[in-house]
A and B are shown apart, each in its own frame.
Chain A
Amino acid sequence: DADVTQTPRNRITKTGKRIMLECSQTKGHDRMYWYRQDPGLGLQLIYYSFDVKDINKGEISDGYSVSRQAQAKFSLSLESAIPNQTALYFCATSDLGGGDTQYFGPGTRLTVL
C-alpha cells in the first residue's frame, strides 16, 4: 500500500461548492503539506503543519483552509470553489530526522466549472 494516499483522485465540481480533499499517511511523519501545481508553474505551498497542533499558511492560502485531525491525516478544504482553483493538488509528508525529504501523494486533479 502507498505510504501517502489522497482522496479523491479526481473531482469535478461547480463554482461556489465546498470541497474537501483528504490526505492520509502511514510513514509516521510529523510534518505534512498541501501544494498546488498549475501547468508550467512550480509547486506552490498552500498550508503546512509540523505537528497535530500546528497549522501554518503557505504562499497561496487565500480561499483554502486545512484541518490536522491526527498525526496521519491532513485535509484541505475549498470553502467556495472558483474556476481558478482548478489545478493538481498534492499532499506531502516529511520527517526532520530524515533530512526533511518530502514524500508526495499521487495527487488530486480538481476541476471547478
Chain B
Amino acid sequence: KNQVEQSPQSLIILEGKNCTLQCNYTVSPFSNLRWYKQDTGRGPVSLTIMTFSENTKSNGRYTATLDADTKQSSLHITASQLSDSASYICVAPREGGSYIPTFGRGTSLIVHP
C-alpha cells in the first residue's frame, strides 16, 4: 500500500513569515503528486499538481517542489497571511493507471497576526 507521510503535524508562524511543509511518499511508479488546502470545516481545494518531470511549480505565494529520486515534495508559503491558516494535504496516487488517491494526514498551519 502506498504511503504518504507529512511533517510537521502542526506549525504556528507569524504573519508575513515564510514556511515549508514536507511530504514523503512511497508510490512507484510515480505519476503525479498534489497539494490541497483545507480550511476548517470545508472541503479540500487543489493548490498544485506536479508530474514526475516537474521539479517546481508555483501558484501565487505557494511553491511546490518535487524530488522524484528521494520521493519527497515540499510546499513553501511565502509572506504568509492570516488566510493561509488551514490544513495542507499532500496526495499521491495509490497505483498507476486509474487514479485512486492516498491522502496524507495534513499539516495544520496557524498564522498569527
Q: Which A residues lie at the B interface, using CB under 8 A?
A: 4, 40-45, 48, 50, 58, 90, 92, 94, 96, 99-107
Contact = CB atoms under 8 A, between A and B. Distances in A.
30 contacts: A40-B105, A41-B105, A42-B103, A42-B104, A42-B105, A43-B44, A43-B89, A44-B103, A45-B100, A45-B101, A48-B100, A90-B44, A92-B43, A94-B99, A96-B99, A99-B32, A99-B49, A100-B99, A101-B34, A101-B46, A102-B36, A102-B44, A102-B46, A102-B101, A103-B46, A104-B44, A104-B45, A106-B43, A107-B41, A107-B43
Contacts of A50: 98
B99 A105 contact: no
B59 to A, nearest CB: 13
Contacts of A44: 103
A90 to B, nearest CB: 5
Contact of A104 (B4, B43, B49, B98): B43
Secondary structure of the A contact surface, majority rule: loop
Interface of B: 4, 32, 34, 36, 41-46, 49, 89, 91, 98-106
Nearest to A96: B99
Nearest to B42: A106
B91 to A, nearest CB: 8
Contacts of A41: 105
A43 B45 CA distance: 13
B55 to A, nearest CB: 18
A3 B106 CA distance: 24
